[in-house]
Structure 1
Amino acid sequence: MMSTVRNRSHILGTGAAAVSVLLWASAFVSIRSAGSAYSPGALALGRLAAGALALGVIWAVRREGLPPRAAWRGILLSGVLWFGLYMVALNWGEQRVDAGTAALVVNVGPLLIALLGARLLGDPMPPRLLAGMAVSFAGAVTVGLSMSGGGGSSVLGVLLCLLAAVTYAFGVVAQKPALGRATPLQVTTFGCLTGALACLPFAGQLVHDAARAPASATLNMVYLGIFPTALAFTTWAYALARTTASRMGATTYAVPALVVLMSWAALGEVPGVLTLAGGVLCLAGVAVSRSRARDARVARAAAAEPRPEKVP
């Protein structure tokens, strides 16, 4: 019975993580449209405001109430760092560096999550996780290098992308303990609201940009708020509550591969052989990092079997 419950929880957690990764990959395509009409801070505030509104409605309908006091520290930290500062830094950084450089720098995030998770949360670092992350990072580097030929990079842009990676990592590690005390919906709703409040200084710029932006850009901003923010961050929190921060961080290495495929389908950007190879490496590394060792399963099964009585 316990094994069945554990397997069901693992399947649900994996499915929730897949939803998050898929929607976050789609966000890169939408940001291209919205980012051409909205400044980095205005886009972050508009996205977070739409997300907080959607989450607030669901939270009120479900009547989950306020998170317990012990969860607020992690909620506020993740809200300011991951929902707020990360989105502004990433939006700004991607305006100053080419896509390949941004992908290379931001993909330092999962490695930082693994190190911080081991140091601050006591997350285990099994060989399969380390091997999977190494393969995925090699894939991310390959994708980044294959996309870095046509653009230019600035020191400020690289630093902003690095800031995004650091705030993302610290935000995930701060969120993990809160999920042990509050529900995924509570943590996500109030984290998103915290991020929106932190971005309020950009309210004037949002009003200015919204008055001049085409409808397609505004619709993309609303999409970013409802799906890659409200839905994806909730499914992420659901999955994170059921596994380690290190393993969840490794899962996000699937994003570069999915972005390549979505850009190919939606924008007609045909990837080269090197880009496709990097995407395959990213997905292979994620598969390895999320797999569970066969030997461990065999050992557990053997331990559960009744031992034959010794014949005197």
Structure 2
Amino acid sequence: MMNPARRTQLLAAGAAGFTVLAWASAFVAIRGAGTAYSPGALALGRLLAGALVLGALCLVRREGWPPRAARRGIAVSGVLWFGVYMVVLNWGEQQVDAGTAALVVNVGPLLIALLGARFLGDRLPPRLLAGMAVSFAGAVTVGLSMSGGGGSSLLGVVLCLLAAVAYAGGVVAQKPALGHAGALQVTTFGCAVGAVLCLPFAGQLVHEAADAPLSATLGMVYLGVVPTALAFTTWAYALARTTAGRMGATTYAVPALVVPMSWLTLGEVPGVLTLAGGALCLAGVAVSRSRPPRADAPVRRPEEEDVSA
């Protein structure tokens, strides 16, 4: 019979893997839905779809209100990550090319590691730092190879940087909340907070939905159900079982996965430099998630088991 700790590690690793795949697919879906919906309307539609699915799951599982100790972290992550991040990222990607956006937003995992060390007491082991450096180099390579030659506005760069800061702040705020509430509770109420924050865009959403093609609307619903409702829940499950820095480093696999997804769904054939950058992203994740030799392994708290398989 499988050891319970090992079973938890495998489940958390599977949850992290699903999250990365779903978030990579979101970049493709946003590209399609973003042609018919403005940034705020797209964010609100996505969050409303996600909140409906998550609310239904909470009712089925009879999940109540989160404990008082978790509410502050849920509120902050809901505002920063579910609200500000989604609107600002949608807006930023309309101002700059995909390569520049990917490059700037990938500052996020670095900020997560630094903020986690400062506010959560997370360690910054050499393997994590080395892996993040390799992955960031890969993200830069992918970004440069995909940037085409189009101009990038200063506003777009600033918006993408703001999205990275909101993403990092949301993750660091969410981590303590997961010590008091379950992954489904934290995700559901965080999504609800983000939806409330985006309600001023309701008029735009109604107006644009009336003229949007069905494919764009279905893309928006997909964003709410899979990359938001399901993937944010699996992310929270995995985050509760490791450090914020390690989970942030895992997301460096997203740019590498976006490349083949864009190839298959949008017909965008990647160049050699793009493939090389994607390989660097994956190699860096492998390094950051690897374990040190047994003799040097630090003692982990039970709630921070490594999610690497």
Asked if TM exceeds 0.5, the reply is yes
| Aligned-residue identity in percent | 79
Q: Shift in Å at residue 131 of structure 1? A: 0.8
- Partners in 1 of 2:195 and 2:232 — Cα distance? 14
- Partners in 2 of 1:80 and 1:169 — Cα distance? 12
Structure 1 counterpart of 2:80: 81
Map 1:88-237 onto structure 2 (within 5 A). Answer: 88-237=87-236
The superposition leaves residues 47-86 of structure 1 with CA deviations (integer Å, 9 ceiling, x where unpaired) of 0000000000000110011100000000000000000000
- Partners in 2 of 1:287 and 1:31 — Cα distance? 28
> What do you get for the CA RMSD once the two structures are aligned?
1.5
**What secondary structure does 1:64 align onto?**
coil
- Look up the equivalent residue of 1:215 and give its one-letter code: L
Q: Shift in Å at residue 150 of structure 1? A: 3.2
Can you give the 5+ residue segments of structure 1 that lack an aligned partner in the other structure?
Answer: 301-312
The superposition leaves residues 261-308 of structure 1 with CA deviations (integer Å, 9 ceiling, x where unpaired) of 1001111110000000000000011111111113348899xxxxxxxx
Q: Shift in Å at residue 136 of structure 1? A: 0.3
- Partners in 2 of 1:218 and 1:91 — Cα distance? 15
Q: Shift in Å at residue 6 of structure 1? A: 2.4
- Partners in 1 of 2:266 and 2:40 — Cα distance? 25
- Look up the equivalent residue of 1:4 and give its one-letter code: N
2:112–2:244: 8 Å Cα contact kept in structure 1?
Answer: yes
- Partners in 1 of 2:6 and 2:90 — Cα distance? 38
Structure 1 counterpart of 2:66: 67
- Look up the equivalent residue of 1:156 and give its one-letter code: L
2:291–2:297: 8 Å Cα contact kept in structure 1?
Answer: no
- Look up the equivalent residue of 1:130 and give its one-letter code: L
- Partners in 1 of 2:204 and 2:145 — Cα distance? 35
The superposition leaves residues 116-164 of structure 1 with CA deviations (integer Å, 9 ceiling, x where unpaired) of 0000000011111111101100000000011112322101100000000
**What secondary structure does 1:153 align onto?**
coil
- Look up the equivalent residue of 2:59 and give its one-letter code: A
- Partners in 1 of 2:4 and 2:67 — Cα distance? 27
- Partners in 1 of 2:149 and 2:205 — Cα distance? 30
Count of aligned residue pairs for this structure pair: 299
Pick closer, same or farther for the CA change 1:277–1:64 going to 2, 3 Å.
Answer: same
Q: Shift in Å at residue 14 of structure 1? A: 1.0
- Partners in 1 of 2:119 and 2:296 — Cα distance? 28
Pick closer, same or farther for the CA change 1:298–1:149 going to 2, 3 Å.
Answer: closer
Map 1:206-285 onto structure 2 (within 5 A). Answer: 206-285=205-284
Pick closer, same or farther for the CA change 1:151–1:251 going to 2, 3 Å.
Answer: same
Q: Shift in Å at residue 5 of structure 1? A: 2.6
- Partners in 1 of 2:187 and 2:127 — Cα distance? 30
- Partners in 2 of 1:294 and 1:209 — Cα distance? 56
Can you give the 5+ residue segments of structure 2 that lack an aligned partner in the other structure?
Answer: 300-309
The superposition leaves residues 190-234 of structure 1 with CA deviations (integer Å, 9 ceiling, x where unpaired) of 000000000000000000110000000000000000000000000
Structure 1 counterpart of 2:29: 30
- Partners in 2 of 1:266 and 1:232 — Cα distance? 20
- Partners in 2 of 1:264 and 1:290 — Cα distance? 27
**What secondary structure does 1:125 align onto?**
coil
- Partners in 1 of 2:59 and 2:74 — Cα distance? 18
Structure 2 counterpart of 1:54: 53
Structure 1 counterpart of 2:307: none
- Look up the equivalent residue of 2:16 and give its one-letter code: A
Structure 1 counterpart of 2:289: 290
Larger radius of gyration: 1
Instruction: State which drifts further: 248-257 or 291-300.
Output: 291-300
- Look up the equivalent residue of 2:279 and give its one-letter code: V
Pick closer, same or farther for the CA change 1:171–1:186 going to 2, 3 Å.
Answer: same
